[in-house]
Chain A
Amino acid sequence: MSKKLIFFLVLVLLTGAFCTAAFAQKTVTVLGTWGGAERDAFMKMLEPFEAATGIKVEFTGTRDLPTILTTRVAAGNPPDVSAIPNPGQMQEFAEVGALVDLSEFMDIGKLQDEYSQTWIDLGSYGGKLYSIFISADLKSLVWYNIEAFASAGYQIPETWDELMTLSDKMVAQGKTPWSIGLESGAASGWPGTDWIEDIMLRIAKPEVYDKWASHEISWTDSAVKRAWEIFGDIARSDKYVYGGAATALTTNFGDAPGVLFTSPPRAYMHKQATFIKSFILNYDPTLKPGEDFSFFPFPSIDPEYGTPALGGADMFAVFNNTPEAQAFMRYLATAGAQEIWIVQLGKLSTNRRVNPNVYPDDLTRKAAEILASAQTFRFDGSDLMPAAVGSGSFWSGILDYVGGEDLDSVLKRIEETAVDAYKK
């Protein structure tokens, strides 16, 4: 090759490098699960950050977050900042050293001031804070059609006995109390796990729940078994559930509340998290939250354990310790950022500084109060378990049990996978 040509090539390369360096914008790559309305809300939250810092946020939304994130981390190419599917996965990443300790660049004292200890603990591993929460969903809710309840003269049940008495009354009147939908594509079965978790919190101490989630007690333990039986008494009964087990197994979780609003209602109650509001409004946009439909807390079973709150939450962690990622994380932790996000979606705040007035309606405010005032709060247990159990045998176990399989063999099978999955 001639010297001239080499010189020319080097010149081109240098010019190219110079141009990229001069015009490169500072960016932070962010991975999350959101699409549709959630994505729009997230983008809206990013606007003030981009405007103020000049840092461009490159957001990728995928419903397959656990897979994509695990693969990218394993490949050594993680996003700078990412949403984390659940605390269990956060711990796994922290354990292999994939996460950045937030105390390196954030004011921990300020965070402790703004977040309750529950959230700090859920975001920590091995004494270090690795992730922050931007919003939460409350799961321990039973949704109902206000008008249907009023015209039939039904009272809101406050205890489990009242709930069952009400259910029996409906059955005696030839009505069906519950609508259940367990179908959710590749995640089918998860709505049932929420039932089990909520019941567990109501029949045993929170410590028992924690032990169950971390597999210090067996799936064949009497408390776990009792929770499944209480769930089964409702879910496996043709008279309590609209269409019986076959309908519960084939109905998509998002379609399930629809039958509360048919005329006459085909069912009267539906247990689901705060997010189901958007599905109800999607089913019938003329319905008004708080006027046409509302919720009551999933009632207490054993008075000793009160009415605990079960929830999920959106958490973020840093994988690449760049100045841009640090700035973005500091921004996400502020009440101002979270208010934008919460307002759009009707999610609940985890940050004490968030102004309750920003909630879109009284219903959301009510859910936020339940969450804030709950004496016991626990994170969705299946999200804390290893995937082979929490999004594997627990899900399929729910389907098998509701489908009519014997409880002991279902629990024995989950226990077998758990013994195997919790092994280090």
Chain B
Amino acid sequence: MWPPEVATNPFPVHRKIKMYTKKSTPWLYLAPALTLLGFFLVYPSFHTLYLSFFDKGSNAFVGAGNYIYAFTNRVMLTAFRNNALWVVVFSAITVFLGLVLAVLLDRVRYEVIIKSIIFMPMAISFVGASVIWKFVYAFRPAGAPQIGTLNALLQRFHLPPVAWLIERPWVNNLCLILVGVWVWTGFCLVVLSASYKSIPRQLLEAARVDGASEWRIFWRVILPLLVPTVTVLTTTMAVFVLKVFDIIYVMTNGNFGTEVIANRMYKEMFQFGNFGRSSAIAVVLLVLVLPMMFLNMHRFKREEK
């Protein structure tokens, strides 16, 4: 190795320093973090699990009753379907758009400005974004002046207005997902762009010298090098979107077949006061998120090695 280690190391190897290291020392350093995590994360998780086996007011043991409800109730089944839709469509579109934009914007002079604009919605809370998009999707009957952006456009071309948030089952769900995409594409773009820029230019030039088309370079050189980032990003998006709540709560409150698991959990807890059911739903949500968390952690560990 160069420069040689001896030259840079102020403490020559032979001079051993005596340190007070007991077995308990690392635990002492970890203690504050572990206490906080234990109190605010581990304890509530196990308490939630415990509550999920009890009734509405946490008095009587009901066995698996709340879980049976969570997996058989009609609204819950709709919620599972919608969460699956969110995970697939949202993760796919945000990462795909992020990737395409990262590669294409690299060739544009005003890259920074465009990236900033696309990233900007990240600065808005989900609730704020939902309120904005509620105006975009606003519906007035045909003949009345349209106040919603989309329906005003349709009106401009003499097309009948569409009740975007009512049309079930696909239009309204996709309209809601679009709000999430609008907010999160910028994040995917920035992460992928950084990763793309770290690819040594020589590799791309070598490919070009060898006569590869740009399309071929993307598929054979760029994409394989970005796969780790894309995977981490996709799983992160999927974990994040499994917990989606704000958009649904503000825009439709789960009506018209747009219910999601987290909104159902909120309703059972805060509107219906059913501790048992909402705990059971929370546990189901946690279990759904776990595999993806493990996948991510597994990857991180491998990369560290």
Do A and B originate from a single complex?
Answer: yes
State how many angstroms separate the Cβ of A33 from the closest Cβ of chain B.
15
Tell me if A246 and B271 are in contact (CB < 8 A). no
Count of chain B residues with a beta carbon within 8 Å of a chain A beta carbon: 22
Tell me if B253 and A243 are in contact (CB < 8 A). no
Residues of B with C-beta under 8 A to A396: 255
Tell me if A67 and B141 are in contact (CB < 8 A). no
Residues of A with C-beta under 8 A to B140: 243, 247
Q: Is the interface of B mostly helix, strand, loop or mixed?
A: loop
Tell me if A70 and B273 are in contact (CB < 8 A). yes
In whole angstroms, how far apart are the Cα atoms of A387 and B274 in the complex?
10
Residues of A with C-beta under 8 A to B163: 246-247, 249-250
B-contact 0/1 string along A400-424, CB 8 Å cutoff:
0001000000000100000001000
Q: Is the interface of A mostly helix, strand, loop or mixed?
A: helix
In whole angstroms, how far apart are the Cα atoms of A399 and B75 in the complex?
14
Tell me if B273 and A387 are in contact (CB < 8 A). yes
Tell me if A185 and B256 are in contact (CB < 8 A). no
Tell me if B144 and A266 are in contact (CB < 8 A). yes
A-contact 0/1 string along B250-277, CB 8 Å cutoff:
1001011000000000010011111000
In whole angstroms, how far apart are the Cα atoms of A246 and B273 in the complex?
31
Q: Contacts A250-B139, A413-B74; is A186 near B249 (CB within 8 Å)?
A: yes
Tell me if A186 and B272 are in contact (CB < 8 A). no
Q: Contacts A246-B163, A396-B255; is A67 near B270 (CB within 8 Å)?
A: yes
Which residue on chain B has the smallest CB distance to residue A242?
Answer: B141
At the interface, yes or no: B191 with Cβ under 8 Å from chain A?
no
Chain B residues 138 to 163 lying within 8 A of chain A, measured CB to CB, are 138-142, 144, 163
Residues of A with C-beta under 8 A to B249: 186
A-contact 0/1 string along B8-43, CB 8 Å cutoff:
000000000000000000000000000000000000
In whole angstroms, how far apart are the Cα atoms of A66 and B273 in the complex?
10
Which residue on chain B has the smallest CB distance to residue A247?
Answer: B141
Size bracket of the A interface: 20 to 34
At the interface, yes or no: B166 with Cβ under 8 Å from chain A?
yes
State how many angstroms separate the Cβ of A176 from the closest Cβ of chain B.
9
Residues of B with C-beta under 8 A to A421: 272
State how many angstroms separate the Cβ of A36 from the closest Cβ of chain B.
18
Which residue on chain B has the smallest CB distance to residue A398?
Answer: B255
In whole angstroms, how far apart are the Cα atoms of A399 and B255 in the complex?
8
State how many angstroms separate the Cβ of A85 from the closest Cβ of chain B.
11
Residues of A with C-beta under 8 A to B138: 250
Residues of B with C-beta under 8 A to A244: 141
Chain A residues 146 to 198 lying within 8 A of chain B, measured CB to CB, are 185-186, 188-189
Which residue on chain B has the smallest CB distance to residue A182?
Answer: B255
At the interface, yes or no: B51 with Cβ under 8 Å from chain A?
no
At the interface, yes or no: A265 with Cβ under 8 Å from chain B?
no
Q: Which of B168, B253, B273 contacts A186 (CB 8 A)?
A: B253
At the interface, yes or no: B70 with Cβ under 8 Å from chain A?
no
Tell me if B255 and A189 are in contact (CB < 8 A). yes
B-contact 0/1 string along A234-278, CB 8 Å cutoff:
000000001110110110000000000000001000000000000
In whole angstroms, how far apart are the Cα atoms of A247 and B151 in the complex?
13
Closest 4 A-B residue pairs measured CB to CB? A243-B141, A246-B163, A388-B272, A250-B139
Give 5 CB contacts A-B under 8 Å: A185-B250, A189-B255, A243-B144, A391-B271, A403-B166
